[in-house]
Amino acid sequence: MGKRVAVVLAGCGVFDGSEIHEASAVLVHLSRGGAEVKIFAPNIEQRDVVNHLKGSPADEKRNVLVESARLARGNIQDLAELKVSEFDAVIFPGGFGVAKNLCSWAVDGKNCTVNEYVNSTLRAFHGAKKPIGLCCISPVLAAKIFPGCEVTVGQDKNVDGRFPDAETASAIAELGCKHICKDVSESHVDKANKIVTTCAFMCKAPLHEIFDGIGTMGKQVATVLDKLPPYRRCCISHPVRSKMSRKAFDGHILLVQQPGIGLQGWQSLWVVICIKGTYP
């Protein structure tokens, strides 16, 4: 079975939604890697609507979930319905919609607020120690939610005019996070937090370079997944012996069989109590 990955969109269109090329690149790389993908978006009104032909605001209202459905070919779900237990990883493409709809970074910068469902989704994946992939401006979500994390949005200086939004790196540092300078062809892995980031269109680069950079992020997410301990599942509730470890997540107790310990010789069945938003 392929890796199960949730992709979260922010609308459709670079100036008020998800960046279409980035979203497509994420989906293509996941498809090539054999992942099972489901797409989500919050069922909320967009902060604004931009006429992409004129580059100016449009006097209309649009819904983030409805607009994201264009990119998902209609196969999409409300982010409120995402169950972390059903996925191995989550990826957020970039686009101004991330900074406008998924959070208020576009107007409030480092003092932004994050949409409640985006916040809870990221915290649940992080709490379950499942990898999080973030493209372009999306790393600011992690910077806001997880103080001390490491992310990249490219360079912290506008090198050769290729990184016009380099000041974002300074804002990330002011949030207590570490910005790692990377080129468009690279991604960064925060091993402690299992967060993988790449700058994508935060860099003025040819489309194929951005596509390839997003590919490195996808591969790094898969690598993080492959390194996770092989915890097993069981849905039978029975007493367990002291050989089993206990971990608390979201106020519940998770009992897991340690890798390498078999069932032979055990006098009672082992169990994993199913809990919301943790191991699958």
**Structure tokens, 172:** 């990330």
Cβ proximity of 155 and 184 under 8 Å: no
Q: At what angle do helices 207-226 and 20-32 cross, to 10 degrees?
A: 50
Dihedral (C-alpha) 137, 143, 148, 151: value to the nearest 10 degrees? -10
Q: How, if at all, do strands 195-198 and 188-190 pair? A: antiparallel
Per residue, the 3-state secondary structure of 151-171, as one string, reads ECCCCCCCHHHCCCCCHHHHH
What is residue 99's DSSP assignment?
Answer: I
What DSSP letter does each residue of 179-228 carry, written as one string? Answer: E----TT--EEETTTTEEEE-GGGS---HHHHHHHHHHHHHHHHHHHHTS
CB atoms within 10 A of CB 273: 14
Cα–Cα distances (Å) from 247 to 59, 153, 253, 272, 278, in that order, read 51, 34, 6, 11, 11
The number of residues in the chain equals: 280
Burial 119-134 (b: 16+ CB within 10 A, else e): bbbbbbbbebebbbbb
CB 212 within 8 A of CB 185: yes
Active-site residue, 149 included = no
Q: Select which of 12, 136, 149, 177 is catalytic.
A: 136
What is the H or E stretch that residue 31 is in? helix 20-32
Active site residues: 136
